[in-house]
Chain A
Amino acid sequence: MLKDITLGQFFPGKTVVHRLDPRTKLLLLIVYIVALFLAKSYFSYGLVLAFLIAVTLLGKIPWKAMTRGLKPMLIFIIFTALLNLFYTKGGTLLVDWWIFEIWSDGVRTAFFMVLRIMMLICGTFLLTYTTSPIALTDALERLLNPLKKIHVPVHELAMMMSIALRFIPTLIEETDKIISAQKARGADFETGSIIRRAKALIPILVPLFVSAFRRADELATAMECRCYHGGEGRTRLKVLRYARIDLFAFFVGALLLAGVIVLRRFGL
Chain B
Amino acid sequence: MSTIIRAEDLSFTYPASGERLALPVFENLNIEIAEGSFTAVIGPNGCGKSTLAKHFNAVLLPTGGKVWVEGKDSSDEKMLLEIRRQIGMVFQNPDNQIVANVVEEDVAFAPENLGVPSPEIRQRVDEALKTVGMYEYREHAPHLLSGGQKQRIAIAGVLAMRPRCIVLDEPTAMLDPRGREEVISTVTRLNRDQGITVVLITHHMQEAVGADRVIVMHKGGILTDGSPREVFSQVELLRKAGLDVPQTTDLLFSLRGAGWDLPLDALTPEECANAIAAAMQRDN
What is the bound-complex CA distance between A226 and B85, given in angstroms? 7
4 further A-B contacts with Cβ under 8 Å, apart from A227-B85, A237-B108, are A173-B143, A234-B113, A235-B117, A236-B121
- Tell me, yes or no, whether A93 is within 8 Å of chain B by CB: no
Contact indicator B113/A226 (Cβ below 8 Å):
yes
Contact indicator A163/B97 (Cβ below 8 Å):
no
Contact indicator B57/A225 (Cβ below 8 Å):
yes
Contact indicator B143/A226 (Cβ below 8 Å):
no
What is the bound-complex CA distance between A172 and B246, given in angstroms? 38
Those of B98-153 within 8 Å (CB) of chain A: 98-102, 104-105, 108-118, 121-122, 125, 141, 143
Question: In this complex, what residue of A is CB-closest to B94?
Answer: A222
Contact indicator A163/B99 (Cβ below 8 Å):
yes
- Tell me, yes or no, whether A221 is within 8 Å of chain B by CB: yes
A: which residues have CB within 8 A of B? Answer: 132-134, 162-163, 165-166, 169-170, 173, 215, 218-219, 221-229, 233-239
Count CB-based A-B contacts (< 8 Å). 93
Most buried by B among A132, A134, A237: A237
Most buried by B among A218, A223, A235, A239: A235
Task: Given A226-B113, A229-B81, check contact A235 B118 (CB 8 Å).
Answer: yes
Contact indicator B96/A225 (Cβ below 8 Å):
no
Task: Given A235-B115, A239-B118, check contact A225 B59 (CB 8 Å).
Answer: yes
What is the bound-complex CA distance between A226 and B57, given in angstroms? 10
- Tell me, yes or no, whether B158 is within 8 Å of chain A by CB: yes
CB-contact partner of A218 in B57, B88, B96, B108, under 8 A: B96
- CB contacts (< 8 Å) of A228 on chain B: these are 109, 113
Most buried by A among B57, B97, B117: B97
- CB contacts (< 8 Å) of B88 on chain A: these are 225-226
Task: Given A235-B116, A237-B105, check contact A227 B161 (CB 8 Å).
Answer: yes
- CB contacts (< 8 Å) of A132 on chain B: these are 102
Contact indicator B59/A221 (Cβ below 8 Å):
yes
By secondary structure, the A interface counts as helix
- CB contacts (< 8 Å) of B100 on chain A: these are 134, 162, 166
- CB contacts (< 8 Å) of A224 on chain B: these are 59, 84
B: which residues have CB within 8 A of A? Answer: 57, 59, 81, 84-85, 88-89, 91, 93, 95-102, 104-105, 108-118, 121-122, 125, 141, 143, 157-158, 161
Contact indicator A237/B122 (Cβ below 8 Å):
yes
- CB contacts (< 8 Å) of B57 on chain A: these are 225
Contact indicator B101/A162 (Cβ below 8 Å):
yes
What is the bound-complex CA distance between A169 and B101, given in angstroms? 10
Contact indicator B96/A222 (Cβ below 8 Å):
yes
- CB contacts (< 8 Å) of B118 on chain A: these are 235-239
Contact indicator B112/A236 (Cβ below 8 Å):
yes
What is the bound-complex CA distance between A229 and B97, given in angstroms? 16
Task: Given A225-B57, A225-B88, A237-B122, check contact A134 B102 (CB 8 Å).
Answer: yes
Contact indicator A227/B84 (Cβ below 8 Å):
yes
Question: In this complex, what residue of A is CB-closest to B118?
Answer: A239
Contact indicator B112/A235 (Cβ below 8 Å):
yes
Contact indicator B99/A166 (Cβ below 8 Å):
yes
